Amino acid sequence: MSDPIAITGTGVLSAAGEGATLLWQRLCDGDVCVEPVDEWSDVSPRRLVGRVGGCDPYEAIRERKLHKLVRRGDALAIAAVAQAIDAAKLLSHRDALAESLRAEFNARTGIFVGAPGGALADQHDFLPLIAEVGSDLPAFGQRLARRVPPTWLLRSLPNNALCHIGINWGLSGPGTTIVDDSVSGVLALIDAAEAVREDLAERALVSAHEAAIEPHALALRERHHGPFTAVARPFDESARGSPRGEGAAAAVLESLGSAYQRGATVEACYLGGACVSSSGDLLAAVDQSTVERVIQAALEDAGRDEDDLAVVIAHGDATTQGDEAEARAIAAICGDEVPVTASKWSIGHTGAAAGLVDVALAVKILRHGVVPGIATTSSIAAPCRAAAIQLGAWPIRYGTCALVLCHATGGVSAAAVIGSARR
Amino acid sequence: MADDSVAGQRVTTFRTPRRRVGVTGIGLVTPLGPDAGSTWASLLRGDIGVRPISRFDASGFPVRIAATVQDLLTLDASDDGAAALHIAHRFGLAATREALSSANLRPTPDTAERWGCVLGSGAFGLHHEQLCALPRQWAPNGRLDAGLVFADREALASYEMLRQTRAALGLWSIKRAVGALGPARTISTACASGAQAVGTAARMIRRGQADVVVAVGLDSMIDPLGLAGFCLLGALSTDNDAPQRASRPFDRSRNGFVLGEGAGAVVLEDLESAHARGARVFAEVAGEGTALSSYRVTDPHPEGRGPIEAMQAALVDAGMDPENIGYVNAHGTSTPMNDRSEANALRSVFGAKLDGTWISSTKGQTGHLICAAGAVEAAITALSLHHGRLPANINLRERDDDCALPLLRETRSEYVDAAMSTSFGFGGTNHALVLRRADVA
């Protein structure tokens, strides 16, 4: 059993709006937040996506001259970190320190980011040049500097958010960027928590992001999934996949000692996590035994068992095989009474951000004591009925922990156990 | 754990002995050779892997040289399982297979869940020809029209084209080749990726998350779009007429780095288990440290802020002092700013002890392998400790006064007890590894 790590702030930007509490509230209210894209009015049938609206994420970046170096997904990550830092009252604490202690504060703050690791749209910056020169490579090389921004490579770096989070707040502790699709955010969380446990950092910011709402990537996905024209119905008989969403999440992790010493409010605790692999084909859905293994490993790392669980937040991406594997595994390990919920039905599949979005949701579920249901699901598929799939909001009756599950293409699964601060 | 403060540095002491980690397998695919043996021999001979680009017509680019992997046809592409694999993934697969063979170790059904994989990799996008092949009518003005794309999506290549652009594809191919069912990660921190992969893999073993972890750094940006990105930044040497001299770390006349490609793979193993099975141990991963510069996206901090903290953290993690380090395989990219910043950082960390430490950058011979560099150089550092041969800093004619370091002008025969390998990435992620010779307690 490992030491709990305090979570003192969270941040979320998703189609549900700004903040983890708003996400939790809208899920409890049964709000479907994916909608057609206004700019694609000539696309028929209309595609649903989960877009972050109503805010300018670039406002979180202090130096305006840096805005041109930051793509939207990275900006979302920075904005989510700004929320989390604000919620944790981290800057007011730092600013009250003596100058020498401020420097130590910065050096003892790590940054761990989950990122998509590749975006098709980055390469579209070359299309104007290609439209001009076709496949003529010498001409491509000669006219390159006139037609492509000099900062193209910098803007496309997978670790760009990590870089700018550090610069924006002057933080210089250990840091990394993990790029494993849907598990990126939870892997970043696990590694951040281990860094705090091992005293490599006193606190760590964790962030995860993805903003891939663009026609090229979506059209390619549709070659595999079919058109994203309907809302997701996880664990439903009619499950046909999830529309894509953009989003970002963040959390502030601290040693409990650090949090108590500065009088921070501990929202919840990270108790443990795990990552396992499967041997399937690249596009194979996750299998039951892999989900069982990751649940067992995460509970073991957290020093908890299934009786401690108040809720399971499943990956729940509304794919028939994936849903079935998850439901069967949850039932096998956790039993048929722990409420199982998900978030993609409302905000879409936020890719690399998805797992950390669900961690932030777990924090709010544990704080408010109510588990949102899956409002779009009406008839649970027979193979999924062994698990307690939650269709409506439900008060927590027992248990003090939330288990968050996520799975990535290529056969990597991750899980995190979040504990109530009240315990 | 308990903390003590020694000379202003935080030192973590573990109440229970932590697991030690050994390097028991090495695989390399580099511009110097298609395997570890040929790369090592070539390195010691002083060969240079930089040559004119012949893989595509680079005649219109301001830079027309690179350190390319030769003998591409020898790469086994028969069992990769996915048509979308990038050439860098094939480098990684070849290095991984060699590392496993070198370690003489494979997972079994009973142990596979205790095997992990960590990749250091960039993101690989579409090839230039794939962009050119997009239906011209979709982007008549160079900008995609959503209505046209969705209406004509059947014209798109397969879904695999999307997977091709995601870093996770590489991890899938490597862990499939290894047969690992344990923890896995892909780290992408630009030029620090490969080194962080090795450091993260070592920590997985120490933490008890896995018993054996294969760490791989892989990269290739020697294609029209990759080369374009670096040309736009102005980071590359333009010495097109003198490719053999183009990469010259710490030299007064250096003018940029040379793009390289390849892969490095190491099998890391719980040292006790490795000894128990009688494995050859190249070196021990004694410590690792990472820190952010938080300065500028491309420019390193002039005084070495970030690299200093990463090196100090690695030393603390290894429980060593600078005087314990006999050799540093420096990041040494051959750009004016990096080498100056790194020299300042080394002087700051090592102080007067610098005179007892040999330093070289091997990028003069290999070029800069970007996301693969840290893993390749970790492997070279392990081989240096194992064989008692320290590679030279090639192409050093006149050392820059701002880089006053004890640089190796020739390969040196000396068994040192411990060595450091440094890696600093665009975006300000800095990493240092400390390796200990296997027969040093």
**Residues of chain A contacting residue B425, judged by C-beta atoms under 8 Å apart:** 159
Q: What is the pTM of this model?
A: 0.96
Task: Provide CB contacts within 8 A for B226, sequence distance 6+.
Answer: B220, B259
Are the beta carbons of A56 and A72 closer than 8 angstroms? no
Are the beta carbons of A269 and A1 closer than 8 angstroms? no
State the CB neighbour count (10 A cutoff) for residue B279: 19
Return the amino acid letter for A31: D
A160 and B297 within 8 Å at the Cβ level: the answer is yes
Are the beta carbons of A294 and A322 closer than 8 angstroms? no
- pLDDT tens digit sequence for B54-70: 999 999 999 999 999 99
Are the beta carbons of A250 and A356 closer than 8 angstroms? yes
Give the pLDDT of residue B424.
Answer: 97
What number is the average pLDDT over the span B195-211? Answer: 97
B165 and A119 within 8 Å at the Cβ level: the answer is yes
B184 and A412 within 8 Å at the Cβ level: the answer is yes
CA dist list (Å): A298 to A199, A411, B8: 21, 17, 37
B168 and A141 within 8 Å at the Cβ level: the answer is no
pLDDT band at B290 (very low <50, low <70, confident <90, very high): very high
Give the pLDDT of residue B75.
Answer: 63
Distance between CA atoms of A298 and A313, rounded to whole angstroms?
14
3-class SS at A326? helix
User: Which listed residue (B191, B371, B386, B403) is catalytic?
Assistant: B191
- Report percent pLDDT > 90 for chain B: 79
Residue A313 has pLDDT above 90, yes or no: yes
Which one-letter DSSP state was computed for residue A51? -
Question: Is B86 a residue of the active site?
Answer: no
CB within 8 Å of chain B, chain A residues 261-320: 274-279, 281-283, 293
User: Which listed residue (B86, B127, B331, B431) is catalytic?
Assistant: B331
Question: Is B231 a residue of the active site?
Answer: no
pLDDT band at B280 (very low <50, low <70, confident <90, very high): very high
Distance between CA atoms of A395 and B32, rounded to whole angstroms?
64
User: Token pair of B429, please?
Assistant: 């992620």
B292 and A40 within 8 Å at the Cβ level: the answer is no
- pLDDT tens digit sequence for B360-403: 999 999 999 999 999 999 999 999 999 999 999 999 999 999 99
Q: Phi and psi (nearest 5°) for A381?
A: -60, 140
Task: Provide CB contacts within 8 A for B237, sequence distance 6+.
Answer: B63, B65, B246, B247, B254, B255, B256, B257, B258, B334
- pLDDT tens digit sequence for A100-130: 999 999 999 999 999 998 778 888 999 999 9
The minimum CA-CA distance between A216 and chain B, rounded to whole Å, is 7
B187 and A176 within 8 Å at the Cβ level: the answer is yes
What is the residue whose two structure tokens read 């991406």? A317
CA dist list (Å): A406 to A99, A110, A170, A264: 41, 23, 31, 29
CB within 8 Å of chain B, chain A residues 39-98: 39-40, 42-44, 47, 69
Sign of the dihedral through C-alpha B50, B51, B54, B59: positive
pLDDT band at B439 (very low <50, low <70, confident <90, very high): confident
Distance between CA atoms of A178 and A159, rounded to whole angstroms?
9
User: Which listed residue (B86, B89, B301, B368) is catalytic?
Assistant: B368
pLDDT band at A227 (very low <50, low <70, confident <90, very high): confident
Residue B3 has pLDDT above 60, yes or no: no
Give one word for B206, left, alpha or beta, with left for phi > 0 and alpha for psi -120 to 50.
alpha
Give the pLDDT of residue A152.
Answer: 94
pLDDT band at B113 (very low <50, low <70, confident <90, very high): very high
Question: Is B371 a residue of the active site?
Answer: no
B289 touches chain A (CB under 8 A): yes
- pLDDT tens digit sequence for B232-265: 999 999 999 999 999 999 999 999 999 999 999 9
- pLDDT tens digit sequence for A238-255: 999 999 999 999 999 999
pLDDT band at B142 (very low <50, low <70, confident <90, very high): confident
Of the candidates B150, B165, B186, the beta carbon closest to that of A180 is on: B186
Which of A277, A279, A281 is the best substitution to test chain B (most B C-beta atoms within 10 A)?
A277
A221 touches chain B (CB under 8 A): yes
B297 touches chain A (CB under 8 A): yes
